[in-house]
Amino acid sequence: MTDSTPRAPDGPALLGPAFYDHEKVFDAYRAGRTLPDNPNSTLEEPPVIEFLGDLGGRAVLDLGCGDARFGRYALESGALRYVGIDASNRMLEQARRNLRGTRGEVRHADLGTWNGFEAAGFDVVVSRLALHYVEDLDRLLTVVHRCLVPGGLFVLSVEHPVVTSTYDGTDVEEGFAYEWRVRDYFVEGRREDPWLGAVARKVHRTFETYFRALRDAGFRLDALSEATPRREPFRSARIFELRRQVPAYAIFRCLRDP
Ligand SMILES: C[S@@+](CC[C@H](N)C(=O)[O-])C[C@H]1O[C@@H](n2cnc3c(N)ncnc32)[C@H](O)[C@@H]1O
């Protein structure tokens, strides 16, 4: 996500699904996810998994599911049902391959306009690194609320507000920025992130805004993580040290009001 290696942006800023459908981006993103010490595995995943707890017997909805590797994990962990939503065709194709032979399913929908399901049938909603692509967060959160059973769990991760403020890192080593220029922190709204050979359109929000939006939609914030790097998941001590310089992610654990 926050690789700020100088590169020539290629074309106009693309909305989330179109960005991931860009051939160069899709291949580079997938390759990045297999690298040892990639930030998703070392930083974002541990708190998400901890916040979700036991998925045994749960119905799980995943917003911005990408390749649905998480769906496979959820079902192997005992989840009864898994539904992933995404609007990138390439991601969904990969997701169907990853879920083959399981009862997991994925659906094509744009989270910017998606209206959810008729009944509140999910015990758990998870959304990993997708909601900072969505402009109308308030609208989507009311949909999430409707999808969850009373008392249900909502875990979401986004790029850290410090990162989304500017996408302006320097002193890159091994692809990691270890200094970040923060400007316009309180000027919320659209940002352009030149990344993986294209430009992604993202949305910057402060922590206050995430908190207010969740509370106003009827969620109680139960735990918060800034994905503080822990030594164990890292193979390289050097990358661990680099990752302690700039926060990468924010993860919220919320409960739907009963
Ligand atoms: C960084 S990837 C994360 C994928 C997956 N959640 C994971 O953690 O591996 C972001 C995903 O959000 C999806 N996404 C972004 N904006 C979206 C939108 N408006 N509607 C549906 N999916 C969207 C993208 O297509 C992409 O698959």
- Burial degree of 160 (CB within 10 A; 0-12, 13-18, 19+): buried
pTM, whole model, 2 decimals? 0.94
Contact 60, 53 (CB under 8 A): no
Q: How far apart are CA 258 and CA 256, in angstroms?
A: 6
Per DSSP, the three-state class of 119 is coil
The finding on whether 17 has its CB within 6 A of some atom of ligand 1 is yes
Q: Which secondary structure element, helix H or strand E, spans residue 158, and what is its range?
A: strand 148-159
Looking at ligand 1, which atom is closest to the CA of residue 128? 6
Q: Each residue of 88-145: pLDDT tens digit?
A: 999 999 999 999 999 999 999 999 999 998 777 999 999 999 999 999 999 999 999 9
**What are the residues facing 225 on neighbouring strands?**
251
The finding on whether 175 has its CB within 6 A of some atom of ligand 1 is no
Where b means 16+ CB within 10 Å and e means fewer, 199-231 reads bbbbbbbbeeebbebbeebbbeeeeebbbebee
CA of 80 to the centre of ligand 1 (A): 23
The finding on whether 124 has its CB within 6 A of some atom of ligand 1 is no
**What are the residues facing 76 on neighbouring strands?**
none
The finding on whether 22 has its CB within 6 A of some atom of ligand 1 is no
Quote the DSSP letter at residue 133. Answer: G
Q: Each residue of 2-35: pLDDT tens digit?
A: 443 444 455 789 898 988 999 888 888 888 898 8
Q: Dmax over Cα atoms in the chain, in whole Å?
A: 50
The finding on whether 110 has its CB within 6 A of some atom of ligand 1 is yes
- Burial degree of 69 (CB within 10 A; 0-12, 13-18, 19+): middle
Ligand 1 mutation pick, 126, 129, 135, 136, max ligand atoms within 8 A of CB: 129
Mean pLDDT computed over 184-196: 93
Give the length of the chain.
258
CA of 182 to the centre of ligand 1 (A): 25
Contact 26, 229 (CB under 8 A): no
